[in-house]
Amino acid sequence: MSTADTAIRTVLFDLDGTLADTAPDLAYALNILLAEEGRPAMPYELVRPAASHGSIAVIKVGFGIQPEDEGFEELKQRFLDIYEKNLDVHTCIFPGLEPVLDKIEQLGMNWGVVTNKPGWLTEPVLESLNLTQRAVCVVSGDTLPERKPHPAPLLHACNIAGSEAAQCLYIGDAERDIIAGQRAGMKTLVALFGYLGENDQPESWPADGMVSTPAEILDWLR
């Protein structure tokens, strides 16, 4: 491919912790469940790092149990029921990302979402943020049999967007995002403004770069 053929045409975002700040509503749902179970509320700063890793991670943080432990599955299902009813209370696009999306569109590029969050939760979140019609593609955790870090969801998004993998930039806040993007043959960025925990070491992930603010994404598109 020539340089022109490998210029970025499509920007793909992870959802939780990259495109949308969903942690407040995930923490809200967890604390409702904790109250139902007669437990004290969990401080938000302890829940936030788990928000990128789904309901299993949130229940592990909230209750200190593992998926194989008795009652885990029931707690997870109740958590998801509560979250589904409260997923747009505080959730918003990360501050500074709206101008980035506008600029991507102004440049004649397109953008989409690739997340491990199931479609029945992904779709209402994007709808509440008025992003559904703007995204060229939305690939959820149950769109395909494979999920990140497998590259298949990202390659599927490329096909829908009409771009080659080398023409795509994938942005995420978890190591699996960067691994998936690399395996797919895309450029990758770590969203440091996302839900990284104290044990994460993004500098050791195989990313092409890291951005501390959404505005820095535009530097990678020029």
E strand or H helix that includes residue 206: none
Same-domain check for residues 14 and 40: no
Q: Which residues contact 218 (CB under 8 A, 6 or more apart)?
A: 100, 103
**Which token pair is 178?**
């960067």
Catalytic residues: 14
Residue type, 162: G
The last residue of one of the domains, among 85, 103, 118, is 85
Same-domain check for residues 179 and 69: no
Same-domain check for residues 105 and 201: yes
Same-domain check for residues 132 and 70: no
**Which token pair is 28?**
């809200």
The last residue of one of the domains, among 36, 65, 85, is 85
Same-domain check for residues 159 and 77: no
**What is the structure's pLDDT at 222?**
78
pLDDT in tens, 173-209: 999 999 999 999 999 999 999 999 999 999 999 999 9
Whole-number Å distance between alpha carbons of 53 and 8: 28
Same-domain check for residues 58 and 109: no
**What is the structure's pLDDT at 4?**
54
CA-nearest of 31, 71, 69 to 47 is 31
Same-domain check for residues 13 and 29: no
Same-domain check for residues 72 and 137: no
Same-domain check for residues 128 and 193: yes
Number of residues that this document lists for the chain: 222
Give mean pLDDT, residues 102-115. Answer: 97
The last residue of one of the domains, among 85, 104, 128, is 85
Same-domain check for residues 114 and 211: yes
Same-domain check for residues 104 and 161: yes
Give mean pLDDT, residues 90-100. Answer: 98
**Which token pair is 162?**
């009409």
Give mean pLDDT, residues 151-167. Answer: 98
Task: Provide the mean pLDDT of the chain.
Answer: 96
pLDDT in tens, 61-70: 999 999 999 9
Residue 96, pLDDT > 60, answer yes
Residue 1, pLDDT > 60, answer no
CA-nearest of 125, 126, 147 to 137 is 126
Give mean pLDDT, residues 28-49. Answer: 98
121, HSE (Cβ side, Cα atoms, 13 Å): 24
Residue type, 193: F
Q: Which residues contact 69 (CB under 8 A, 6 or more apart)?
A: none
Q: Are 47 and 24 in contact (CB under 8 A)?
A: no
Assign 6 a pLDDT band (cuts: 50, 70, 90). Answer: confident
CATH number (domain holding residue 186): 3.40.50.1000
Number of domains in the chain: 2
Sign (positive or negative) of CA dihedral 80, 82, 88, 93: negative
Same-domain check for residues 135 and 198: yes
Name the residue range of residue 80's domain: 23-85
